Amino acid sequence: MLILPEFALLRPKTVAEAVAAARGAQGRFDYLAGGTDLLCNYKWGINTNPTVISLRHVAEMNRRDGNRLGGGLTLAQIERDADFLEAFPAFRGVLRHLASPLIRETGTLAGNILLDTRCIWLNQTEFARKALGNCLKADGPECRVVKGSLDRCYANYSGDMAPAFMVLGASVRLAGPDGERSVPMTSFFEIDGIRRNVKTREEVLVSVDLPSDARDVRASYQKFRVRDAWDFAEVAVAVGVRFDGDRIAELRLVGNAVASIPVWLPDVAATFTGRTLDDATIDAIGDAVTAAVSPVRATWLPPSYRKQMAGVMVRRALREIRDGAAVPVGA
Ligand SMILES: Cc1cc2nc3c(=O)[nH]c(=O)nc-3n(C[C@H](O)[C@H](O)[C@H](O)COP(=O)(O)OP(=O)(O)OC[C@H]3O[C@@H](n4cnc5c(N)ncnc54)[C@H](O)[C@@H]3O)c2cc1C
Ligand code: SF4
């Protein structure tokens, strides 16, 4: 059995108190939300800080105000929010296939967006990691997945919420020692499995904000994983379309679980503006996404298979958006 190491647990009641506690810990801390990801990493010795700052008692983060969703909302609270799901039905599909019901009861929105990247090399017990030799993300000399990479980690991002928010035009609101700022979700992530995103260590992810025109985007999230009970995605896509009559006024595409960030593909999407969403266009968009993504061997399934499946997932998403019904698996 893996034992949780000892640490000091702080319980601030406001965002300001949380940031002050982080300052006091001088970089040797982690924020804690539901703990479904973080505490596993403590047990595995991947995180080893002496102070943990719980955000569960920060009231302003635990509610939704219109299009502003508090970072502390649990995934199950969002799943039970009928008004939100009616406005943004794509999240029904996202949440139904995200982890397991038990994990969704505890895991939060912010924790999901900030989910650490994962890699078949690193995400093992300390015993196994030491036997095989450490890698860049664990103070080793080089990446073990992409041989010769001395400065970049290729671990996989597989959080399911961020890509869906990306195609709806959402931003994240961060609060830190220098005040508040809002960052579009499309520029929040940074292409490195260690650095992961632009949030500074002491900043709290307070909320996710959707723009007022987000309801005009028809969206779909499609995910492929080995065990449907709770596995992380091996490949997934988020697709959003704004229509002008039967033509594509704007297409938004994200490839997920194919890199260390959700991959936003504006250039690929722009080439389809003005086209009708017929079968030929759907196939062409699927092929373009397959060509654009380049997964590496950081998950269980071979990269070449995941690359092909990205296109298949895009076709399913677009047919769901066009026809208004879920596409059966295998179609
Ligand atoms: C068996 C299993 C299967 C899973 N399957 C999936 C899956 O299919 N899809 C998927 O998306 N996820 C999956 N997960 C991950 C799970 O959904 C996430 O762990 C959960 O959403 C994280 O939320 P949390 O509140 O528990 O975060 P925590 O574990 O508490 O924190 C995660 C990270 O976010 C930081 N953090 C949390 N909140 C804040 C904040 N407000 N401000 C600043 N930093 C913060 C923490 O410091 C930590 O680095 C799975 C997890 C498990 C254990
Ligand atoms: S991708 Fe490379 S550096 Fe990153 S966790 Fe895996 S082996 Fe380590």
The percent of residues in the chain predicted with pLDDT above 90, rounded, is 84
Are residues 232 and 206 part of one domain? no
Q: What is the pLDDT of residue 326?
A: 55
Q: Which atom of ligand 1 is nearest to the CA of 97?
A: 8
Task: Give the pLDDT of residue 331.
Answer: 41
Q: What is the pLDDT of residues 55-70, one digit of tens each?
A: 999 999 999 999 999 9
Q: For residues 89 and 75, state if they share a domain.
A: yes
Is there a single domain that holds both residue 260 and residue 191?
Answer: no
251: helix, strand or coil:
strand
Residue nearest to atom 14 of ligand 1 (CA): 99
Q: Tell me which ligand sits closest to the C-alpha of residue 176.
A: 1
CA distance 45 to 66: 39
C-alpha 190 to ligand 2 mean position (Å): 15
CATH number for position 74: 3.30.465.10
Domain total in the chain: 2
d(CA 28, CA 22): 8
Instruction: Check whether residue 313 and residue 230 sit in a common domain.
Output: yes
Is the CB of 55 inside a 6 Å radius of any atom of ligand 1?
yes
Ligand 2 site-directed mutation target among 116, 117, 118, 121, most atoms within 8 Å of CB: 121
Residue 276 CA to ligand 1 centre (angstroms): 38
Domain that includes residue 233, residue range: 217-323
How far, in Å, from the CA of 283 to the mean position of ligand 1? Answer: 34
Lowest mean pLDDT among 112-116, 130-134, 136-140: 130-134
268 three-state secondary structure: helix
Report which protein residue has its CA nearest ligand 2's atom 2: 143
Q: Which is nearest to 219 in space by CA: 193, 195, 196, 238? A: 238
**123 occurs within a structural domain:** no
Q: How far apart are the first and last CA of the chain?
A: 42
- Any domain includes 230: yes
| Mutation pick for ligand 2 pocket among 47, 117, 144, 297 (CB with most ligand atoms within 8 Å) | 144
What is the CATH number for 274?
A: 3.30.390.50
User: What pLDDT sits at residue 225?
Assistant: 93
- Do residues 222 and 194 both lie within one domain? no
Are 67 and 191 members of one domain?
Answer: yes
Ligand 2: lining residues by beta carbon, under 6 Å:
119, 121-122, 135-137, 143-145, 153-155, 193, 298
What gap in Å lies between CA 259 and CA 158, rounded to an integer? 9
Same domain, 227 and 188: no
Q: 294 in a domain, yes or no?
A: yes
Is residue 78 domain-shared with residue 204, that is, in the same domain?
Answer: yes
What is the pLDDT confidence band of residue 325, given thresholds at 50, 70 and 90?
Answer: low
Report whether residue 12 contacts ligand 1, using a CB cutoff of 6 Å.
no
Are residues 98 and 234 both part of a single domain?
A: no
**Is 25 within a domain?**
no
Residues 99 and 241 occupy one common structural domain? no
Q: Tell me, yes or no, whether 172 and 249 share the same domain.
A: no
Residue 189 lies in a domain: yes
CA of 8 to the centre of ligand 1 (A): 20
One domain, residues 232 and 301: yes
Ligand nearest to the CA of 156: 2
Count, residues in the chain? 331
Within-domain flag for 194: yes
